[in-house]
């Protein structure tokens, strides 16, 4: 037994990517699951509880998908270490369930043969049996059991009762667990792998009758969706709908959240609390956390699309279609999704880089993800564009304001491509990147339940972060903006006496060439918490209260800034590392301070140069 023998026995789920392992995990554990991180790494640890028919409580661990225990990515290292019981603080699992897609068993059988060598009892679960049967695949379970030397059960994760056989088998095996036999697993070399696959092919021929036909629906869909031209156009259309949804559908919900926090803030305002505490609650906690939580609808909608496309089996196709285009800039095809997510927010985007196996490819993607125009930049862009760019059409039909907005997005994308190209040349010295090798799974209808569980998990992770890391940043920034307190009888806005204002003035000589005044410098400091907070900070500095704040700030800055200053600030915002939570996530995901500072430094450098060039050129052209 493992060290934690007083706890419920541990059953580990191991399987190839796309084998329906997570659906099986969801079916087994229902809502009773917990997502945490493995200590020291950022791989998600998914553990759930289930009570077997015999009344035994079992802990089920869902491990990242893999083709072999030979680990190639941080995710796969976790799978290997958990299975081998090498992870500090975790014993070896009592039982290993190797999950295989019944309609695509060839690679799963080789993995099952490899898992046998670990020295723990193994069960092979033939998942998605319903689909296999529909496609006329006949599996002789008894023969398979005999040939493989491990028990084999059938399961249909998505159907009620579809996991009964598996649970029964888990019960039977746990009843008389053998003592841990010595693991005789060693990192397989090519000839061991080849031997394993030949053996798996032999077993497959003996126990499984199937035609070599591809799934007809998948073949028909791929004829269109992977067509070199039509496929790309459809991908673009899907992206368009996705963006439309992220921005349009989220708006009403975001307004509700905003109003909720405003209502909370107003409640604090009229409460009989001391002023300083009021300010802390209202400006520090409520508006700080509120400014992050407001993005929850966008994040949920974005992940809805990502999970939906993932479950459908389309994500691998998107990577296939984009691989060559991304490759030109030194990015991996799989970087496509993380970068796309970064348009909503760099945080989920950077978290999504976990799908990239190769460390260098993953780092490059993490480094450029914050250059994608995230939704937090939108309020700042909107404010400045509204105040300085005339609302008229160019060439008769294109709104000038919209055109500038588009230009800012394009600048972000171009910068991301250029930076990743530079990283590949300068940092990795043009070493060829990780090869693009990816299974294209058959299309499958997504299950509402799995989608809902996935969305719930994402949302809670985001909210937890807003409640911890981001909250801490907000408090720090509030302290900077609130202390020291203004002297008795002070007339200016309180923030102008604070540490933030001192920093703002101290920065004056540096930002002068960019056309930034001290008010902008000061606003940039709370803007570190979340970019859009700068808008509110400008409001505070220009002493604006109540009503439609954004409109009034617009009028105030239109009167006080030159066009060159406004354009320089826009250029600054395209590049500047103005988001402490993104930096915190980079620190976490790369496991090093170094890459966080590298990101901070290069973005700051780009921002400075871009703002400087913009300001000086605009002035030379008469915009000063």
Partner 1 sequence: MTSRPTIALGNARVGFRGRIHALCVKGASAGLPEPELERRLIELGFVEGASVELLHQGLFGSDPIAVRVAHTTIALRRREAMAILVNAEASA
68: contact with partner 1 by CB under 8 A: yes
Residues 6+ apart with CB under 8 A from 176: none
Pairing of strands 398-399, 393-394: antiparallel
| Cα distance between residue 288 and residue 475, in whole Å | 8
Candidate residues 20, 93, 119, 333; the one interacting with partner 1 per rule CB under 8 A: 333
Contact between 67 and partner 1 per CB under 8 A? yes
Distances (CA, A) of 173 to 100, 179, 288, 411, 463: 19, 12, 52, 59, 40
C-alpha span between 439 and 199 (Å, rounded): 21
Minimal CA–CA distance to 375: which of 530, 256, 534, 601? 530
- The answer to whether residue 185 forms part of the interface with partner 1 (CB under 8 A) is no
Nearest CB to partner 1, comparing residues 142 and 189: 189
Closer residue to partner 1 in complex, CB, 171/199: 199
**Residue 214 contacts partner 1 per CB under 8 A:** yes
In the chain the first and final C-alpha atoms are separated, in Å, by: 76
**According to the binding rule CB under 8 A, does residue 199 interact with partner 1?**
no
Among 283, 323, 532, 589, binds partner 1 (CB under 8 A): 323
C-beta of 318 vs 528, nearer to partner 1 = 318
Residue 433 near partner 1 by CB under 8 A: yes
Number of CB atoms found within 10 A of residue 215's CB: 18
Q: Closest separation between CB of residue 427 and partner 1, Å?
A: 15
Q: Which of 547, 573, 539 is nearest to 287 (CA)?
A: 539
User: Is 325 near partner 1 (CB under 8 A)?
Assistant: yes
Per CB under 8 A, 255 contacts partner 1? no
Binding of partner 1 by 232 (CB under 8 A): yes
Q: Is 436 in the site for partner 1 (CB under 8 A)?
A: yes
Rank residues 95 and 132 by Cβ distance to partner 1 and give the closer one: 132
**DSSP E strand stretches across 164-268:** 208-209
Choose, by CB under 8 A, the member of 70, 117, 133, 143 that binds partner 1: 70
Q: How far is residue 528's CA from residue 576's CA, in Å, rounded to a whole number?
A: 10
**Window of 25-33, 297-305, 440-448, 556-564 that interacts with partner 1 by CB under 8 A:** 440-448
Q: Does 107 bind partner 1 (CB under 8 A)?
A: yes
φ, ψ of residue 440 in degrees (nearest 5):
-100, 100
Angle among Cα 476, 482, 485 to the nearest 5 degrees reads 140
Q: Does 429 bind partner 1 (CB under 8 A)?
A: no
Of 144-152, 164-172, 426-434, 454-462, which segment contacts partner 1 by CB under 8 A? Answer: 426-434
Q: Which of 71, 177, 193, 507 binds partner 1 (CB under 8 A)?
A: 193
What is the chain's length? 624
| 239 near partner 1, judged by CB under 8 A | no
Query: In the structure encoding, which two tokens stand for residue 262, read together?
Result: 């405003």
Rounded distance between C-alpha atoms, residue 504 and residue 525, angstroms = 8
Site for partner 1 contains 319 (CB under 8 A) = yes
Q: Of 138, 164, 201, 393, which lies in the binding site for partner 1, with binding defined by CB under 8 A?
A: 201
Lay out the site mask for partner 1 across 335-364 (x = CB under 8 A, - = otherwise).
-----------------------x------
Q: How many CB atoms lie within 10 A of CB 180?
A: 15
Residue 56 phi, psi dihedral angles, 5° rounding = -95, 130
Residue at token pair 């001391």: 274
Our finding on whether 400 is near partner 1 (CB under 8 A) is no
Query: Footprint of partner 1 on this chain (CB under 8 A)?
Result: 67-68, 70, 72, 103-107, 110, 188-190, 193-194, 197-198, 201, 210, 212, 214, 222, 226-229, 232, 316, 319-321, 323-325, 333, 358, 431-442
């Amino acid at each position: 037994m493992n060290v934690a023998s007083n706890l419920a026995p541990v059953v580990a789920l191991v399987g190839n990517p796309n084998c329906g392992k997570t659906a099986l995990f969801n079916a087994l554990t229902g809502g009773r699951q917990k997502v945490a991180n493995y200590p020291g790494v950022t791989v998600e640890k998914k553990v759930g509880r289930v009570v077997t028919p015999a009344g035994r409580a079992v802990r089920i661990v869902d491990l990242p998908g893999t083709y072999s225990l030979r680990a190639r990515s941080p995710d796969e290292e976790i799978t290997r270490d958990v299975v081998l019981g090498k992870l500090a603080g975790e014993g070896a699992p009592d039982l290993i369930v190797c999950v295989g897609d019944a309609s695509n068993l060839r690679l799963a059988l080789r993995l099952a043969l490899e898992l046998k060598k670990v020295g723990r009892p193994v069960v092979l679960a033939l998942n998605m049996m319903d689909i296999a049967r529909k496609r006329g695949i006949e599996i002789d379970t008894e023969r398979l059991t005999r040939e493989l030397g491990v028990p084999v059960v059938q399961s249909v994760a998505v159907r009620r009762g579809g996991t009964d056989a598996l649970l029964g088998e888990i019960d039977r095996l746990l009843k008389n667990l053998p003592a841990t036999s010595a693991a005789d697993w060693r990192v397989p070399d090519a000839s061991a792998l080849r031997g394993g696959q030949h053996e798996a092919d032999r077993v497959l021929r003996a126990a499984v009758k199937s035609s070599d036909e591809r799934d007809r629906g998948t073949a028909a869909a791929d004829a269109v969706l992977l067509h070199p031209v039509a496929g790309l156009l459809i991908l673009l259309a899907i992206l368009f709908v996705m963006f439309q949804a992220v921005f349009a559908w989220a708006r009403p919900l975001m307004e509700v959240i905003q109003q909720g926090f405003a209502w909370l803030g107003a409640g604090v305002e009229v409460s009989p609390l001391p002023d300083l505490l009021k300010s802390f609650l209202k400006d520090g906690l409520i508006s700080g956390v509120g400014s992050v939580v407001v993005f929850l609808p966008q994040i949920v909608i974005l992940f809805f699309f990502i999970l939906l496309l993932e479950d459908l089996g389309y994500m691998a196709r998107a990577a296939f279609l984009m691989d060559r285009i991304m490759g030109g800039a030194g990015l991996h095809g799989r970087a496509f999704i993380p970068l796309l997510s970064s348009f909503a927010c760099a945080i989920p985007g950077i978290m999504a880089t976990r799908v990239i196996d190769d460390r260098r490819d993953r780092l490059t993607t993490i480094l450029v993800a914050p250059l994608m125009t995230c939704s937090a930049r939108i309020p700042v862009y909107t404010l400045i564009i509204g105040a300085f760019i005339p609302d008229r059409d160019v060439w008769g039909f294109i709104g000038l304001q919209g055109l500038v907005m588009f230009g800012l997005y394009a600048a972000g994308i171009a910068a991301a491509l250029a930076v990743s190209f530079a990283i590949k040349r300068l940092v990795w010295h043009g070493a060829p990147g990780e090869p693009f090798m990816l299974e294209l799974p058959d299309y499958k209808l997504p299950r509402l339940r799995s989608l809902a569980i996935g969305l719930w998990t994402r949302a809670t992770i985001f909210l937890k972060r807003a409640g911890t890391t981001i909250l801490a940043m907000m408090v720090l920034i509030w302290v900077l903006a609130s202390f020291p307190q203004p002297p008795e009888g002070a007339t200016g806005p309180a923030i102008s006496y604070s540490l933030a204002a001192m920093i703002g003035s101290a920065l004056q000589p540096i930002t002068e060439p960019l056309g930034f005044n001290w008010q902008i410098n000061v606003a940039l400091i709370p803007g570190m918490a979340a970019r859009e907070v700068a808008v509110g900070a400008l409001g505070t500095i220009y002493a604006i209260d109540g009503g439609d704040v954004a409109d009034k700030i617009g009028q105030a800055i239109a009167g006080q800034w030159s066009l060159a200053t406004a354009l320089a600030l826009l250029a600054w915002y395209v590049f500047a590392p103005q988001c402490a939570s993104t930096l915190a996530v980079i620190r976490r995901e790369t496991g090093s301070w170094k890459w966080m500072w590298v990101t901070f430094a290069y973005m700051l450098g780009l921002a400075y140069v871009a703002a400087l060039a913009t300001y000086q050129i605009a002035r030379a052209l008469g915009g000063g």
